[in-house]
Structures are given as C-alpha cells and as structure tokens.
Amino acid sequence: MTETPPNATAHQGSETREFSAEVGRLLDLVVHSLYSEREIFLRELVANSADATDRRRFEALTDAAQALPENARISINPDKDARLLTISDDGSGMSRDELVANLGTIARSGTRAFGQKLETAKPEDRPSLIGQFGVGFYAAFMVADKVDVVSRRAGSDEAWRWSSDGKGAYTLEPATREKAGTDITLHIKSDADEFLDPWRLQAIIRKWSDHIAWPVTIMRDGKEEAANEGTALWRKSRNDVTEEQLEEFYRHISHNFDKPWDTLHWRAEGMMEFSALLFIPSSRPFEFGEQTRESKVRLHVRRMFITDDAEILPPWLRFVHGVVDTEDLPLNVSREMLQATPVLARIRKAVTTKVVNELKTRAKDAQAYATFWDNFGPVLKEGMWDDPTYKTDVAALSRFRSSAVDTLTSLDDYISRMKPEQDAIYYVTGDNADVLNASPQIEGFKARGVEVLLLSDPVDSFWPERLGTYEGKSLRNVAQGLNDLEKFGAPEASTAEKADMDTLLPALKTALGDAVSDIRATDRLVSSAMVLSAPEGGPDLQLRKLMQRSGQDIPDVTPVLELNPAHPMIHSLAQKVQAGDKIDTLAHILLDVASIQNGETPKDVNAFSRRIMDYLTGGTQNANT
C-alpha cells in the first residue's frame, strides 16, 4: 500500500488514498486464491493483536504511560444481526502514521514476488505464504467486504480510523476510543456466515491460537467466555504435550505450514534454570536467503514475552524457531542489560551447544540429514567463518559435493579416503558443483586419484581460510597454484610428448605483457590446454569475483596463466614460435578462453570477438598479421 498524494482527497478531517495498481491486484489474489483457507484470517488477526499486546507490555517496563490494564486480553465479538465481527485488544495501538505504515507492510514485503508465488503455489501451500510476507492483515478481505480499524496509541489521547473495501482505496479519519489499543471490525460477506458463529470461532482459535500467552475471549449469548487454553507448552514436560500441539505451536511462531524437521524440548536446571522449545523447519522458507541474520528464538521471563531481539542463537543457526523462558532474569530487563548480563551469555552457550549436539545426532541418519542440509547447509557453514568457538563443530556437521563420490560427504569421510602420502584436504570453489567437477583446475588431482571437494556456495570462498585445519589436515585450494602433485607421481596415461616450453613461454610473455603476472608450465592439467590461477599469496579468483559482485572495491589481480605442455594446441603454438610466426593474437585468444573457462568474461569482449572472427575467416596466419 503506497501513498499517492495526487490521488488523495481530504474533507472534514478525513483523507482518502488510493492503492497502487499492483497492491490492488495482490489484494484480489489474496481474496480469491486463498478462498479454501478462509479461516486463516482469524489466526492472523489474533496473532497481530497478541504481538501488539506483547509490545505494549515490554514498552511499559521503561515507560509507565504504556502500562497494560490488569485484565488485558484479546476479545472477539460476533454480531449476527449487524453482520459484524470485531477483534479488540489492549495492545500498543497505532498512531495515524503507524496505521499508514503498518497497514502498508504489503508493499514493502515483495509484493510482486508474493503475487507470483501465490499464483503458482499449490492450494495446500498457499496459507504459509501469508505469514512469510507479512500480509496477514489483508486475509481479512477473504471474509469481509469492508474492514474498519480504530486504533489509539498507548500514551496518546488521539484515535484514528482506517477503512477500506480492499478494492481501490482506503480512508483515514479521526475517531474515538476509550483506551489504548485496537479494534478491527469486519463487515462479513453474505457467504461467510460461519464466521459469525461463536462455536465456529472458538474451534478456529483452539486450532491455530490456543497457545497464545494472552487470554482470548469470545462473546456468546451476551457473556464473555474463554476461547484459548493459554498454556506455555515449553513449561510442560515433553510427555504431557502431544505432537499435534507441538506442530500447532510451531506454525504459530514460525508462520510456516510444514511440519518441523526436528523438535528440541527440554528444561535446564542447576546453576541456571530455563525451559526451551525449539524447532528446525523441514522446508526452507520462501526468500530465506534474503532474510536478516537475526535469531528467531524469542526470550520469555517467567512466561512473559520480553523480546525477540535477544540473539539467543548465533546467526548461523537463524533457521531455528522457538522460545526460551528463564527464571534468572528480572521482568524489567532492558535490551542494554540483556547484552551485558552473564546469565544470558550462559543461556546462549547452553542453547547453542544443545542445538549443535542435536544436529550431530541427527546427522547419523544420512538420508534425513541430506534433506536438512539442502535447506540450511549454506547458512550453517557460516559458523566456520564467524564463530571461533563452534567452527570445528560446524565443520564436522558440514557436508560437501566431491569429485570422488556421488553422495554428500563429510570431512571425516574425506579423511578416511585420503592417500597415505596426502596431508591436506583439497577443495575448489565456484558457482556450480557440476561445472567444478569438470574444471581444468582439478584435472591433475582426479587423474592421480586425489579427491577434491566441490564448494559452490558463496560462503565457501571465505570459511576454509578461517577454519585452517581439520583433524590435523590443512585445507588447500587447488586453484591457488600450489603444486602438490609431485608427491602423488604422474598419471598413468601421461606419456605424451611435451612441447618446447623454453621458446614458447618467453614469446607468450612478450605477447601478453602485463595481462598476466606469470606464464608457466604445469603438470596439473590432463585434457585441457590452459588454466588461470591466482598468484602466490594473492586472493583466490573466485573470492575476488564474489566481492566484485557485491560491489566491494577490491584491487585488480593479475592472474597466472598455466599451460599443459602435452596438449596438441600448446605443441602447435610452440612450433609456430620455432618457425618464426607471430602469435600475438593467438596468445590473447588463449588468455580469453582461459578466462571463460574460469567463469569470467574477457576484459575486452569486442576485441575477443574480432580475434575469433579473424581466426575463423582468415586462418591463424591472417589472425596474426
């Protein structure tokens, strides 16, 4: 929802604003594509009310003006005669500007991507998209042909009304509300009578919102009756909680509709006491890679929500959802105190260790763990880069594609297959594991039966240097030009005659000049003629490429051109030099093709194209004249 001042009209204190065309289309999708899951609207509205009440309770810890009433609750009032359904809360409420901003979340949450995903998703997958994109409020239009929101910000005397039929515009105008909080009134459609039935509403609350910490009530026959149990599941014994309850709670806090891949439910006692209920999803959320690196574990103190910014788990475990509830912190703890208190530091370590140990246990089931790894492996590997305490544990949990086996492998399994004379774990980095497996960079290693790990995630260009060693074995990038192949002998089929490099190398260096830092013969190539490598001590070429993509300013690195003396093309070039032919153009073609092999574009694409066309139309001789 975006502001469009030229199309806004104001009269008698009210203001009308138009939806953008894109948001109007999206509202249509929400209403019609989610028709079979209409009851989800109530879960979303109640969850929003609970969040607002949590927020006010937290803000009241440092601001007395935000204090909650003693009987703070979420009330649902169906009026069959007037065909109205009202959801009210005692939460923080919203000012006029906050109404515009908060009810405009849809436009800042990937409107176009949401619409495309919604159109192509299977019916059973559509409800989960609502929570992932922050568009839950708009699910109200599935059952209402008009929605009114009256809200008063805690600490303010002003109240405002937001109204819309979801078709083209919304209005803002001053309103009255006796106390802080929000009323959302739905004008129920003629085909949605079921959502005016108190029994139906209670069934929905029990299904989706039974574990919300705040009381939820429903008006039935003029009386306000409790609609939810409001039990803190994490405080119960695991034996007293059913799988259905756990799944419902997981969906509530994660906004996902899959079943958890794993559930961790325990209580720590002793020097520190806390209860924890954590979930690892079974599927990767949409646009997961674009989300922030913040922990998704909520901190409670004595069952009361404190904050979801306590960073209970490190960024490399941000796929874990859940709750940690402790007795060892005061209810009025501030965010500054949270960062400094040793209690929270101990809780963080204990919870992180628990999750790591659980993953080690689950990793024993290779097939199940492969599913987890496909979803969250690239995130978990970040721990080897930014967490010195757990980097070795994360290394043991990591899985990789390999040149030697078809299935994912661990570092421990790699070491078990190492040659007797091998003292390093070899790897190569790039954008695609299949392409890496056919890369000239690893030809010599494969020909000698030396296994190479194929690392194709962006983080793979960073963590090996930080990890350094694993089980006493150093990690070595085959693209760094480190010539370790002599210790493994020559490949069995390496009987081809080698070109005269003594005359070829000086001629190529003269032709290429500063375009390369060095040109040398190598024995790490088998079927390829040439390969680019980084100069000794220089940054890996793949790392440099990634940093350039992210817009970082990195000094240009002049690569080393390595040649295969046994390749027919190198033979041909050497013979031309011996015959006195010029090879300037062919030398540049050689360098450009080596760049393309390395996944890069030639520095001068037009010049490369001209050289190739000259070569194809006029032959080598003409290409060099």
pLDDT tens per residue, range 5-15: 434 444 457 88
Q: What is the mean pLDDT of residues 159-165?
A: 93
Residue 600 pLDDT: 80
Spatial distance between the Cα atoms of 501 and 25, rounded to a whole number of angstroms: 67
∠ CA 445-451-454, rounded to 5°: 100
**Cβ neighbours of 6 (radius 10 Å):** 5
Q: Which two tokens stand for residue 496?
A: 């081809």
- Residue whose C-alpha is closest to residue 72's, from 378, 304, 296, 256: 304
Domain 233-366, second-level architecture: 2-Layer Sandwich (3.30)
Is it the case that residue 109 has pLDDT exceeding 70? no
Residue 539 pLDDT: 59
Note whether 546 and 457 are within 8 A (CB): no
Name the more confident of 570 and 545: 570
Establish whether 323 is an annotated binding residue: no
pTM exceeds cut of 0.75? no
Residue 450 pLDDT: 93
Residue 622 pLDDT: 45
Establish whether 132 is an annotated binding residue: yes
| CA 433 remoteness from chain centre | 20
Residue 55 pLDDT: 85
Name the more confident of 509 and 2: 509
Residue 362 pLDDT: 97
Residue 110 pLDDT: 44
Is it the case that residue 365 has pLDDT exceeding 50? yes
Residue 10 pLDDT: 46
Note whether 180 and 153 are within 8 A (CB): yes
Is it the case that residue 573 has pLDDT exceeding 60? yes
Establish whether 335 is an annotated binding residue: yes
Establish whether 48 is an annotated binding residue: yes
Establish whether 228 is an annotated binding residue: no
Residue 22 pLDDT: 56
Which CATH code is given to the segment(s) 398-487?
3.40.50.11260
Same topology between domain 23-226 and domain 501-617: no
Note whether 179 and 10 are within 8 A (CB): no
Helix (H) or strand (E) holding 100: helix 96-102
Task: Work out the pLDDT band at 551, boundaries 50, 70, 90.
Answer: low
Establish whether 572 is an annotated binding residue: no
Residue 5 pLDDT: 42
Which CATH code is given to the segment(s) 501-617?
1.20.120.790
How many helical (H) and strand (E) elements, i.e. helices and strands, does the chain have? 21, 23
∠ CA 244-246-250, rounded to 5°: 115
Task: Work out the pLDDT band at 146, boundaries 50, 70, 90.
Answer: very high
Q: What is the mean pLDDT of residues 503-527?
A: 91
Note whether 149 and 161 are within 8 A (CB): yes
Establish whether 288 is an annotated binding residue: no
| Three-state DSSP string of 391-416 | HHHHHHHCCEEECCCCCCECHHHHHH
Contacts of 11 (CB under 8 A, 6+ apart): none
Spatial distance between the Cα atoms of 232 and 224, rounded to a whole number of angstroms: 22
* CB environment 367-402: b (16+ within 10 A), e (fewer): eebeebbebbbbbbbbbbbbbeebbbbbbbbbbbbb
Task: Work out the pLDDT band at 555, boundaries 50, 70, 90.
Answer: low
Establish whether 133 is an annotated binding residue: yes
Spatial distance between the Cα atoms of 438 and 458, rounded to a whole number of angstroms: 19
Residue type, 322: G
For the stretch 393-418, pLDDT in tens is 999 999 999 999 999 999 999 999 99
Residue type, 225: E
Q: What is the mean pLDDT of residues 560-584?
A: 91
Question: Quick one: what percent of the chain has pLDDT higher than 70?
Answer: 81
Establish whether 136 is an annotated binding residue: yes
Task: Work out the pLDDT band at 119, boundaries 50, 70, 90.
Answer: low
> Which residues sit opposite 86 in a β-bridge?
77, 185
Residue 108 pLDDT: 42
List the chain domain ranges: 23-226, 233-366, 398-487, 501-617
**Of all residues in the chain, what percent are helix, strand and coil, respectively (each to 5)?**
45, 20, 35
Domain 23-226 is found in CATH 3.30.565.10: yes
Helix (H) or strand (E) holding 623: helix 605-623
Residues composing the chain: 625
Establish whether 109 is an annotated binding residue: yes
Establish whether 94 is an annotated binding residue: yes
Round the average pLDDT of the chain to a whole number and report it: 84
Residue 489 pLDDT: 78
Helix (H) or strand (E) holding 306: strand 304-307
Residue 301 pLDDT: 80
Establish whether 137 is an annotated binding residue: yes
Task: Work out the pLDDT band at 254, boundaries 50, 70, 90.
Answer: confident
- Residue whose C-alpha is closest to residue 30's, from 126, 109, 124: 126
> Which residues sit opposite 216 in a β-bridge?
74
For the stretch 21-57, pLDDT in tens is 555 666 766 666 554 578 878 988 988 898 889 889 8
Spatial distance between the Cα atoms of 414 and 209, rounded to a whole number of angstroms: 47
Residue 111 pLDDT: 45
